[in-house]
Amino acid sequence: MVKFDRKKVGQAVMSLGGNGVGQVLVAMVATLLVRHFSGPEPALSPDYDIELEDGEKEDGDIELGEEAPVSGKVMPVIIRWCNISCSLSEKSSKSVRWLLKNVSGEAKPGRLLAIMGPSGSGKTTLLNILAGQLAASPRLHLSGIIDFNGNADSNKRAYRLAYVRQEDLFFSQLTVRETLTLAAELQLTEIPSVEEREEYVNNLLLKLGLVNCAESCVGDARVRGISGGEKKRLSLACELIASPSVIFADEPTTGLDAFQAEKVVETLQQLAKDGHTVICSIHQPRGSVYRKFDDIILLTEGALVYAGPAHEEPLEYFSKFGYNCPDHVNPAEFLADLISIDYSSADSVYFSQKRICGLVESFSRYSSTILYANPIEKRQVLAGENFRTSKLLKKGGWWRQFCLLLKRAWMQASRDGPTNKVRARMSIASAIIFGSVFWRMGRSQTSIQDRMGLLQVAAINTAMAALTKTVGVFPKERAIVDRERAKGSYTLGPYLLSKLLAEIPIGAAFPLVFGTILYPMARLNPTASRFGKFCSIVTVESFAASAMGLTVGAMVPSTEAAMAVGPSLMTVFIVFGGYYVNSDNTPIIFRWIPSVSLIRWAFQGLCINEFKGLQFDCQHSFDVQTGEQALERLSFGGCRIRDTLIAQSRILMFWYYTTYLLLEKNKPKYQQLEPLPKLLIETFDNDNLHPTEHQGDLQIKTFDNDNLDKTQPEGDLQMETLDNENLEKIQPEGTLGNENLEKNQAEGDLQINSFDKDNMEKPQPEEPPSLEKVEPKDDDTETPQIDQIRPFILEDEG
């Protein structure tokens, strides 16, 4: 890593920049380059950090499937979750509100799973937990087990996950093809050929049905662009660039008409058929949409009502309890009505709650027979081995990221016609209005006050125009940046520097237009050098105000909040801007504010540029004769324009650096699963025998259904195994000492069984028991499902 001596860099800047704006721009660029080149190398998001074969982890390296991005092959992933519980502690009271209560289920590749339920049932919460996207909060408590292909939740970073949110956020001025192309260039650095990347993008456009709108602008609320359904499919296309194994979609049909909603679900169904594991949440689909689901999960008030195959199976299940779906009724509507609370009256609330509680209780007992009874097959777990390769590919370097982001920022800024037109019209209108009010000022004593007033409003107008534009746009752009950074597309340094440089030509145009019209109309100091300095001061002030807008946008959560905070903060700077309160009369506790007020430094520079060397008409001995005397009254005597430009540049860099720190600090943080009690959990597998990953104090082991030999557990807890055809106990020597055969005791959300050692047979050490060799004791005895995760703890003797 290159190291820079900051003193030498500063001397080089002073020698290269010369005087004026050139030195300012060189200082800006040099400071950012020193900051980012001397810092750590860009690293990927934690989700893309993968353990290497030798046990070491190298940030920035990703393990890719062999030709997976080009061929579109997908590593199959089966997701299982057990006893997921999520609670929220209320601020005002000590009560706890349950968002999810002991929810279990499974999602398989090749099948489209829909999470359904009324509003507030926990659909999005469950989806966020499975995707690892639940926003962190100290009041949240999250527990449960999630495994990917039989491995612990912490191993999910080895798989590519995609999350399609409800909000479709894009850079509005880019076309659909440009959006996908830039995303591919940022993520698919392993494809060096431009032709191959273009072919890959064309295949995505064809696959998602976006060919007809490929050259259309994406658009937003101000610019007409593609339709809502096309935006949703574009969101899917952007997530599919990296060939993810699992796709999460949060209510993908929200805000779409029936036709567009069905097209989006058809796309999800096709992605599932292509081998992706697709999980979506949906509120109340139409009948044709419901028939496209392979599996469904029904939630109500955070509790599980049904989980299993879709279509006729849930109707048959609920018919056993007397709830029959009428003919010619949408099954999705019937299920939604069945699990919703009717608030029309007190009696209806009571009866509907009673019905739902009964359904939840019934399913908790019935789930062992219908809740995804198919275990993970060995061929599915090992199917991804073909994708593993020892070749580690680097993500794009700092310079590559900067060039791509600079290209995108320039296209967005230069093509934003509505915003640029409004800013140009406002600059022209303001200059004409101010020029008309201060028309051709003379050299009289009264013109001194007029000049000061004009320069003050010029500084305020320039700063407010740049600030309001930035705070109105950046909060939305920040959401896009956070999403792309979470995927590891780029780091923060290249983004901020590219945004600064791309907006320099556009941002400088409007102050220049303003000054070009105002200066001759007001007849300010009529020399070319003074006019150039006037334009330089207001231009640098405009950049500083934009940087301040970035900081405000990074500090607050929404555009509305930014529009409230930004002008309020600017008002403080206006009060201490040098015109209303003299800096010598400022209270001690507030004397630091003028030194950081960009209004004050701009006003000071404009006054020095205008009054220095100016002579006024005098009629009395106490009149102000020269401009230097007017500057002394403002406490600006002895100052130079160069000092004001340097001060404004420092303010600019301060706001950009603060923005950098805020974006780093406020990047999304996600809630982690809390560790369960120190238990050893055994899971059964039909075809393979292998120990899985460890997660905290939770140790998970899997056993072969055909060879249920006991594996020596670690720690102080001894475990038992159950034969699928026989309830005989298999006991290691000297570990059991209980008195009851079927004593159940609950601990947390897990069911713990203890047994009497006197009623259990010991296995033969020479040959482990096999299902074919064990004769059942009683055909009427209920047999637990092998594939269910059943924890057991055996108490120590005595």
Query: Using the 8-state DSSP alphabet, how is residue 500 labeled?
Result: H
pLDDT, tens digit, 9 for 90 and up, residues 656-700: 999 999 998 888 888 888 766 544 344 434 444 343 443 344 343
Q: How many CA atoms within 13 Å lie on the side-chain side of 557? A: 1
What DSSP line would sit under 94-126, residue for residue?
Answer: S-EEEEEEEEEEEE-TT-EEEEE-STTSSHHHH
**What confidence score (pLDDT) does residue 307 get?**
92
3-state secondary structure at position 627 = helix
Mean pLDDT within 182-194: 84
Give the Cα separation of 569 and 93 in Å (integer): 35
Among 18-27, 60-69, 432-441, top mean pLDDT goes to 432-441
Lowest model confidence (mean pLDDT) among 221-225, 328-332, 774-778: 774-778
Give the Cα separation of 772 and 775 in Å (integer): 8
Lowest model confidence (mean pLDDT) among 17-26, 436-445, 488-497, 665-674: 17-26
pLDDT at 464 over 90: yes
Give the Cα separation of 478 and 174 in Å (integer): 17
Give the Cα separation of 387 and 67 in Å (integer): 8
Q: Are 321 and 363 in contact (CB under 8 A)?
A: no
- Let me know how long the chain is: 798
Instruction: Print the SS3 string covering 345-403.
Output: CHHHHHHHHHHHHHHHHHHHHHHHHHCCCCCCCHHHHHHHHHHCCCCEEECCCHHHHHH
Give the Cα separation of 366 and 387 in Å (integer): 38
pLDDT band at 771 (very low <50, low <70, confident <90, very high): very low
Type and span of the H or E element at 451: helix 446-486
Burial class (CB in 10 A: 0-12, 13-18, 19+), 2: exposed
Type and span of the H or E element at 701: strand 698-704
Give the Cα separation of 592 and 586 in Å (integer): 9
pLDDT band at 579 (very low <50, low <70, confident <90, very high): confident
Query: Using the 8-state DSSP alphabet, how is residue 742 labeled?
Result: S
Q: Are 187 and 239 in contact (CB under 8 A)?
A: no
Query: Using the 8-state DSSP alphabet, how is residue 302 labeled?
Result: T
**What confidence score (pLDDT) does residue 126 get?**
93
pLDDT band at 295 (very low <50, low <70, confident <90, very high): very high
Whole-angstrom CA distances from 404 to 184, 412, 497 are: 11, 12, 12
User: Which comes out higher in pLDDT, residue 789 or 151?
Assistant: 151
> Which tokens go with 145?
């087990």
pLDDT, tens digit, 9 for 90 and up, residues 86-116: 998 887 777 888 999 989 999 999 999 999 9
**What confidence score (pLDDT) does residue 683 get?**
41
Give the Cα separation of 532 and 701 in Å (integer): 76
Task: Report the chain's mean pLDDT, rounded to a whole number.
Answer: 75
pLDDT at 471 over 70: yes
Give the Cα separation of 555 and 537 in Å (integer): 27
Question: Both ends of the chain: CA-CA distance in Å?
Answer: 63
**What confidence score (pLDDT) does residue 443 get?**
83
Q: In the chain, what's the furthest Cα-to-Cα distance?
A: 123
3-state secondary structure at position 614 = coil
Q: Which of 297, 302, 361 is closest to 86 using CA atoms? A: 302
What DSSP line would sit under 193-218, residue for residue?
Answer: -HHHHHHHHHHHHHHTT-STTTTSB-
What DSSP line would sit under 287-301, residue for residue?
Answer: HHHHTT-SEEEEEET
pLDDT at 575 over 50: yes
pLDDT band at 719 (very low <50, low <70, confident <90, very high): very low
Give the phi and the psi of residue 222 in degrees, each rounded to 5. -95, -30
**Residue where the block lists tokens 């639940």:** 134
3-state secondary structure at position 721 = strand
Q: Are 692 and 789 in contact (CB under 8 A)?
A: no
